Structure 1
Amino acid sequence: MPWRRPLRWLAAVVFTAAFAVVAGTFVPRPLWPVAKAETATGERHRILVLANPIHTDIAIPIDAETLARFPFLAESGMPVTHPDARWLVFGWGGRAFYIETPAWSELKPLPLFKGLTLDRSVIHADVAGDVIEPADHVAGFEIGPDEYERLLSFIGASFIRTDGQVQLIPDAAYGPNDRFFEANGWFSAVVGCNTWTAKALREAGLRTGWWNPLPVSLSTSLALYN
């Protein structure tokens, strides 16, 4: 019957997508563990991966090094030197959906459409206080100085710079503690916020799944291979 062919195509698409997600979770990237050199001082840096049902962020500790590395955060008015500030939180995502959807109750059709197709990207930066560990939505990792440097460089390179200046998006924030900035790259359903997080973590010497479009697939692969 004529209606069976579209159903077969739909079933094939659903099966392919499901297979890609499963394979992307359980096939590690890189395939083999990379040997890490031990430093003389044994210096380690703790980083966090923060997850909600659809999105992941990376948190790095606030200290003199990170404040010097990202001076534009303080210049934008973020309270990075507040006595209770402990973490800088970074996430990458689609411009329309990320900025215009601070909560599910504010979901709109056009940002959702752009989030499922193609959109310019932004970096969301936030300040957090103490983060309770362990928690279901928090994963912590200890990394060496070389891996930490590569992670900071990756985050820094994700910001668009014009004449050396990071581009703040005016009047775009969820509250007084966060800001949005123009970012490099295009967002899509295939290359999304969680694949950015996964790539950053690989720069930090961690192993992820081969393709992690969802927080649950990233969290699972991180637990399996690190």
Structure 2
Amino acid sequence: MRIVRIGVVLALVVPAIAAGAYLLASAVLSRLAVEGRPAAREGVEVFVCTNGIHTDLVLPAVTDTVDWTIDLPDGDFPGAGPQASHRSFGWGDRAFYLETRQWSDLRFATALSALFGRGPSVMHVYALHSPAGSPDCGMLVLKEGQYGALAAFVRDSFRRDGAGRVMPLPGSGYGATDLFYEAVGHYSPVETCNEWTGKALRAAGVTVGAWTPFEGGIMRWAR
């Protein structure tokens, strides 16, 4: 009986310690700056937006550096209209994204799969107007080289076919202005959707935390 009690205690205590260590590491490392380049006064305006849990990068659809409409044409987003000046990018676990459209849809198996990084990932793309002025977004100005590095990171996050084309999932969007695409990598407690955003910003030379698994760790640097 004593052994059973010890086992029960360990089953409760060990996960609690692990969760506490995880949260502590996040709190410390998300504030530990990876210094980037000085903020630019002129260049390409990009946005980092949050829904309170998840962060997206919102980039101009067309600049001198990259034309996203080549990989992500307007026809993929029939409800957006010709005035959609930007594309938003959010990376994450495929099952979680596609099967959990509302929190009430969340299943234990889906959460467990995402937690242990077993499933494939997707890129969620919206065609939208500029979010300038939105309280949910922060704006950054990047020099051309910085934006090129950011765009290269995002581009390399898409899984591509043998001809180098992105791989959309037809009918997967939440509406007529968004669509999901096959992506590379696997979601895990370390490689979260928000850490993907953090990696993209670090690739562009933006000062951001060393590890950013939660949206707060991103937005404190982006706002």
TM-score w.r.t. structure 2 length? 0.85
* Distance change in 2, residues 1:105/1:10 (3 Å): closer
- Of residues 10, 21, 24 in structure 1, which corresponds to 2:26? 21
> What is the rounded CA distance, in whole Å, between the counterparts of 2:98 and 2:202 in structure 1?
26
* C-alpha contact (below 8 Å) 1:88/1:126 kept by paired residues: yes
Shift in Å at residue 13 of structure 1? 1.6
Number of residue pairs aligned between Structure 1 and Structure 2: 216
> What is the rounded CA distance, in whole Å, between the counterparts of 1:50 and 1:9 in structure 2?
35
Unmatched 5+ residue regions in structure 1? none
Alignment of 1:67-82 (within 5 A): 68-74=67-73, 77-79=76-78, 82=81
Alignment of 1:109-124 (within 5 A): 109-118=108-117, 119-124=119-124
* C-alpha contact (below 8 Å) 1:47/1:140 kept by paired residues: yes
Shift in Å at residue 134 of structure 1? 4.7
> What is the rounded CA distance, in whole Å, between the counterparts of 2:67 and 2:36 in structure 1?
32
Question: Could you tell me the percent identity over the aligned residues?
Answer: 30
Partner of 1:52: 51
Q: Which amino acid aligns with 1:179?
A: L
* C-alpha contact (below 8 Å) 1:74/1:80 kept by paired residues: no
Residue deviations 1:43-71 (CA, integer Å, cap 9, x gap): 41100001112211000122355773441
Partner of 2:139: 140
Partner of 2:174: 174
Shift in Å at residue 220 of structure 1? 2.1
- SS at the partner of 1:186? coil
Q: Which amino acid aligns with 2:216?
A: V
Please say if 1:219 is aligned against 2:219. yes
* Distance change in 2, residues 1:6/1:105 (3 Å): closer
Residue deviations 1:120-175 (CA, integer Å, cap 9, x gap): 1111111112425151x211111110001111111111111111221112321111
Residue deviations 1:49-94 (CA, integer Å, cap 9, x gap): 0111221100012235577344131175224983431221011000
TM-score w.r.t. structure 1 length? 0.84
* C-alpha contact (below 8 Å) 2:79/2:176 kept by paired residues: no
- SS at the partner of 1:162? coil
> What is the rounded CA distance, in whole Å, between the counterparts of 2:167 and 2:57 in structure 1?
20
* Distance change in 2, residues 1:97/1:8 (3 Å): closer
Q: Which has the higher strand share?
A: 1
Partner of 2:190: 190
* Distance change in 2, residues 1:33/1:75 (3 Å): closer
Residue deviations 1:4-52 (CA, integer Å, cap 9, x gap): 44444244223311221111211112xx44468x8xxx74110000111
Q: Which amino acid aligns with 1:96?
A: A
Shift in Å at residue 101 of structure 1? 1.8
* C-alpha contact (below 8 Å) 1:62/1:80 kept by paired residues: no
> What is the rounded CA distance, in whole Å, between the counterparts of 2:27 and 2:169 in structure 1?
36
- SS at the partner of 1:187? coil
Partner of 1:152: 151
Q: Which amino acid aligns with 2:159?
A: I
